[in-house]
Structure 1
Amino acid sequence: PADPRGGRVRRPVGEGGVDPRRARAGALTTLPRPADFPRRHALARFGRVEILLETAEAGLYLLHVDPGRSITPHLHRVMHELEWLVAGELSRDGAPLVGLSPVEWPRGQVHAYTNHGARPATLFCCDRPPFIVEDEVLVDAEGREVAP
C-alpha cells in the first residue's frame, strides 16, 4: 500500500504482510493420482455401477446399462440427482437422449431410462448426498410405490 506521505509502506511478515521470497518458495502444486481414487464396482438390476468417488457431500458414479435393460421408474425422497448420457443409446419417457445435456432430478421426481441399443450405455450420475440404497423408491406407471 502507498504511504500517505508519498512512498510505499512495506508491512512486515506477521502483521498482515507477506515476504515475496517466502511466498514463491512456499508454492506447492499437488496432482491427484488414479491410485488416490480407487474405483469400486457393484452389480445392479440394469447392469453395473462404477463408483468413482464418494464424499460426505456427494457421490459420482457411472451407470452402465446393459442392452435391453432399464433403470426402472423410481424416485428419491432424500437424494438430488444430476445425470447425463456419456456413451451408448438410452431413452427417457420413450424419447431418445441426444448429446451430453445433463438432466436434473429433484427429490420426488420419477425418472427411468431404457437401453434399446445393441451395446451398453453409460450415464454419468452425481448424487447429493451420496447414493442411499433405501432412497431408491421403485414406483409403477402411476407413480405408486412398489416393492423392489
Structure 2
Amino acid sequence: MNKSLLLAWIAAIIATLGSLYLSEVMHFIPCTLCWYQRIFMYPLAILLGIGFYYHDKKIHRYALPLSVIGMLMSGYHFLLQKIPYLQQFEMCTSGVPCAKDYLNLLGFITIPLMAFTAFTIITISLVIFARINKNEE
C-alpha cells in the first residue's frame, strides 16, 4: 500500500465532498472559476481511487496534470479575491463574481484557498508517489 497515493485520494475525496456540501447544503452558488476547479478535482477523486485499488504505478502520469492545473487555477482564484488590482482581470462576467468571498475564516481562509491546499496536497503526494515508483524500477 502506498501512503502517498492514499493521501492524495483522501484529499480529493474531502475536497469533492466539501465542494458538494458548500453548494448543495449551504446553497453557495459556484462562480465560473469554482466550476473549472471542480472539473479538475472531481475526476481526481475517481481516478486516484481506481489507481489506489489497482496499485497503478503510473497513475501520476494522468492525475498529476489535473492536480497541477487545478492548483494553478485555485491559486489564481485566491489571489483574485485578495488582491484588488487583479479584479480588473476577473473572468466572471455573469452570475456570481469570482472575487466574492462566501467564506473568509481568520481573514484569509477562503474556498479557493481550501481548493489550492487540496490540489497542493494531491500534487506533492503524486510527485512523491512518482519518485518512489521510479526508484523501485
**Which has the bigger relative contact order, CA under 8 A and spacing at least 6?**
2
Higher Rg:
1
Q: Same fold (TM over 0.5)?
A: no
Structure with the largest fraction of strand: 1
